[in-house]
Structure 1
Amino acid sequence: MVLAFQSLETIAGEVSIAPIPGKRVEHQGVKIELLGQIELYHERGHFYDFTSLGSSLK
């Protein structure tokens, strides 16, 4: 497993939505979710999946 970030680090990024030329994109907002796994210190070898809602964009 490769660690992408640690617990106290801020996660930031940018979202770009590029429709196919000539097509329109209709939406009621964009929802961004962080998906990942966590391994607890006292339970080495056991991973837990998690989802954390980060932000809803308008």
Structure 2
Amino acid sequence: MYHKAIVYDYEIREYAMYLDDELIGFARTYQEAELTLDELVYELLSGSYHRAA
């Protein structure tokens, strides 16, 4: 299973999104970060996510 983490960055005032300890990106709200990570994990598990080389 994937390890998800959301950490508030006080310097830029956004939420950093991590998947398996790799920074995925930033979101304005905790809820947005949670939804984005959930969607990414769903795509990875369903095989519909294609990573760019």
* Fold in common (TM above 0.5): no
Q: Which has the higher helix share?
A: 2
Q: Bigger relative contact order, structure 1 or 2, given CA contacts below 8 A and separation 6+? A: 1
